[in-house]
Chain A
């Protein structure tokens, strides 16, 4: 590891204040350098750095910025700080401890995109973090870093913090835009993509907290040096949130391409004494699960895709061998059922019925055929909705059924033996045999 980039000074006392952040090199020559570069050169620099979106989709940040139309129209930059993917908590730590890094990244990204208005959409639950970011914005505005003619250049930027009110779907970019417009957070049909018609129908660049916070460092280091970190097609460092059955849960900054075993056992300490990893989510609860046999996979975008899963938001959730896979599947499905916005039928009905079938598995009323039905429900959700919320349930649940089918079947048998009549009435003969009617 060449050294931390985002987390380099993260525990510095007072890093959230402008003074300490400046002392650590923030808002320094790199900001002026970026604002004096021609826009196209800056976008090219971002492209050359190979920086891929850290929110889940992993799309090249520079390419996305280059889709923004030219010309004098109202353009917007939106920072997606609605970090709701189960298992993910890296943006929370970043915003809480180093909010100015995000603001500096937003100034540069807005300049690259030609946007003069920007918003941070932070999830409503992050009340304490919202106060910290709000304070940082006020400081930056007072210091002339946000506002008219920043640092004497002719670039002006308006920036507001917008707090959500508790909806997972508002982390989806078009759902977020609707929510920011003051509506219910229903995702929109794509295309048109936000770069053409986004917020208030204007061209909009939407990026994630971690992506934006990386930008000042890319400007400072230069694209070539940044691209040298990591592996091909997955450059740079990534914050991973490791949680679940590990001894030292937390956020770690890693170089992309580190083996997963090193992350789970090396950094996070692995599961407790005498336990082994049974399954793990490599990129939040929306990613298909991997088992204890897959620990040697290299942790980067392409290797995980090859292993049939995804890097997603970089949240590793570990479950050890004491965990019942049925419980994990049910928890996952219940979450997506609750968070489905209800706009598309496959997702609304599919998540609901998957939960019902998993509850039947638990209560002993299911047969192995239910597993096939669940698998076919999952297949019929994927790719058939406006957004990927339904897919995000179907992929992990489908992968659990595929990889742990034997355990599901054994569970069904056991639950049925324990509760032979399900929720129905036992026939009189059976009750007589038990002596229940005597």
Chain B
């Protein structure tokens, strides 16, 4: 797990030309006194044309990623519709939508990187910053917070500390208010999470084990009394 993350971070910084334009998703860096770190507002070089469609000959794309993106593109009358699935596919391989990942998608889809960054920056599940490989979303919307989701988030944050392999974040309503308070660990919904289970869950997240097997949503029966199987 840790090796993966190092590979991602090292890869994007090491074997690529330095990126001159600031990354769009980046927030302004500040000194501890609040003033902005010099260089935060360096303008993009407007004398150069914006990046065009990457040259397929000089942009290596893994064969499986190319095949997956081309499969998506074939499903729609307009191939641009595949932008979100393609970005997700690239993100799965790179850990985040790194400039390299964006270039690979752009090369296959024949779009500019700018178009794809614009799309990726709109969606919460597409990451424009390096993040941990294991995504943990805690729903802190109304229903869940009425049932103690804020405490759950605080406890999880404390338990997981600064684990670089984990991407812990608040999320909009995840559509599982019946198991509030809940969390989604790499897409697996678990809940209701009792305070006593948080340490166990944190350990499972760290080690990559299945989260709280007894509390997974897919095994849950319907609450409706009329829904009993005949």
CA distance A231 to B221 in the complex (A): 29
B155 at the interface (CB under 8 A from A): no
Taking residues whose C-beta sits less than 8 angstroms from the other chain, chain A's interface range is: 35 or more
Please give, as numbers and ranges, the residues of chain B lying within 8 Å of A323 by CB-CB distance.
146
Please give, as numbers and ranges, the residues of chain B lying within 8 Å of A117 by CB-CB distance.
77
Query: Would you call B223 and A125 a contact (CB within 8 A)?
Result: no
Restricting to A281-302, which residues have a CB under 8 Å from any CB of B?
Answer: 281, 285
Please give, as numbers and ranges, the residues of chain B lying within 8 Å of A243 by CB-CB distance.
143, 177-178, 180
Query: Would you call B174 and A251 a contact (CB within 8 A)?
Result: no
Looking at the complex, which of A2-10, A104-112, A412-420 is the stretch in contact with chain B?
Answer: A2-10
Query: Would you call A244 and B142 a contact (CB within 8 A)?
Result: yes
B129 → chain A closest CB, angstroms: 15
Known: A162-B85, A165-B88, A167-B123. A244 touches B146 (CB 8 A): yes
CA distance A313 to B1 in the complex (A): 40
Cross-interface CB contact of B78 among A1, A11, A127, A181, cutoff 8 Å: A181
Cross-interface CB contact of A87 among B76, B137, B171, B173, cutoff 8 Å: B173
Question: Nearest residue in A to B180 (C-beta to C-beta)?
Answer: A243
Taking residues whose C-beta sits less than 8 angstroms from the other chain, chain B's interface range is: 35 or more
Between A and B, how many residue pairs show CB distances below 8 Å?
A: 189
Looking at the complex, which of A64-72, A89-97, A147-155, A364-372 is the stretch in contact with chain B?
Answer: A89-97
B224 at the interface (CB under 8 A from A): yes
Query: Would you call B142 and A328 a contact (CB within 8 A)?
Result: yes
Query: Would you call B177 and A241 a contact (CB within 8 A)?
Result: yes
Interface hub of A93, A127, A160, A323 (most chain B Cβ within 10 A) = A93
Please give, as numbers and ranges, the residues of chain A lying within 8 Å of B179 by CB-CB distance.
249
Query: Would you call A86 and B222 a contact (CB within 8 A)?
Result: no
Query: Would you call B227 and A253 a contact (CB within 8 A)?
Result: yes
Please give, as numbers and ranges, the residues of chain A lying within 8 Å of B80 by CB-CB distance.
181-183
Query: Would you call B172 and A3 a contact (CB within 8 A)?
Result: no
B210 → chain A closest CB, angstroms: 13
CA distance A118 to B82 in the complex (A): 15
Cross-interface CB contact of B81 among A11, A182, A245, A253, cutoff 8 Å: A182
CA distance A162 to B76 in the complex (A): 10
Restricting to B171-230, which residues have a CB under 8 Å from any CB of A?
Answer: 171-180, 184, 186-189, 217-218, 221-230
B61 at the interface (CB under 8 A from A): no
Please give, as numbers and ranges, the residues of chain B lying within 8 Å of A339 by CB-CB distance.
172
A164 at the interface (CB under 8 A from B): yes
B118 at the interface (CB under 8 A from A): yes
Please give, as numbers and ranges, the residues of chain A lying within 8 Å of B119 by CB-CB distance.
182-184
Flag A377-409 by CB within 8 Å of B: 1 or 0 each: 000000000000000000000000000000000
CA distance A290 to B79 in the complex (A): 46
Query: Would you call A250 and B223 a contact (CB within 8 A)?
Result: yes
Cross-interface CB contact of B226 among A4, A179, A182, A338, cutoff 8 Å: A4
Known: A179-B84, A331-B142, A335-B172. A7 touches B177 (CB 8 A): no
Question: Nearest residue in A to B79 (C-beta to C-beta)?
Answer: A182
CA distance A162 to B141 in the complex (A): 25
Cross-interface CB contact of A10 among B81, B147, B224, cutoff 8 Å: B224
Question: Nearest residue in A to B187 (C-beta to C-beta)?
Answer: A127
Query: Would you call A252 and B187 a contact (CB within 8 A)?
Result: no
Please give, as numbers and ranges, the residues of chain B lying within 8 Å of A245 by CB-CB distance.
146-147
Cross-interface CB contact of B184 among A8, A86, A125, A251, cutoff 8 Å: A125
A423 → chain B closest CB, angstroms: 14
Query: Would you call A200 and B77 a contact (CB within 8 A)?
Result: yes
Query: Would you call B222 and A10 a contact (CB within 8 A)?
Result: yes
Known: A74-B77, A165-B87. A250 touches B178 (CB 8 A): yes
Please give, as numbers and ranges, the residues of chain B lying within 8 Å of A162 by CB-CB distance.
81, 84-85
A81 → chain B closest CB, angstroms: 10
CA distance A74 to B191 in the complex (A): 44
Query: Would you call A253 and B224 a contact (CB within 8 A)?
Result: yes
Query: Would you call A251 and B189 a contact (CB within 8 A)?
Result: no
B168 → chain A closest CB, angstroms: 15
A283 → chain B closest CB, angstroms: 13
Please give, as numbers and ranges, the residues of chain A lying within 8 Å of B81 by CB-CB distance.
162, 180-182
A and B contact pairs by CB, cutoff 8 A, 5 listed: A11-B228, A13-B229, A165-B87, A165-B124, A251-B223
Chain A residues packing against B (C-beta within 8 Å): 1, 3-4, 7-13, 74, 83-89, 91-93, 96-97, 117, 123-128, 160, 162-168, 179-185, 200, 241, 243-245, 248-253, 267-268, 281, 285, 315, 317, 319, 323, 327-328, 331-332, 335, 338-339, 341
| Apart from A12-B229, A251-B224, A268-B223, 6 more pairs, CB < 8 Å | A88-B177, A125-B175, A248-B223, A285-B141, A331-B145, A335-B141
Q: Which 4 A-B pairs have the closest CB atoms?
A: A250-B223, A127-B187, A243-B177, A166-B124
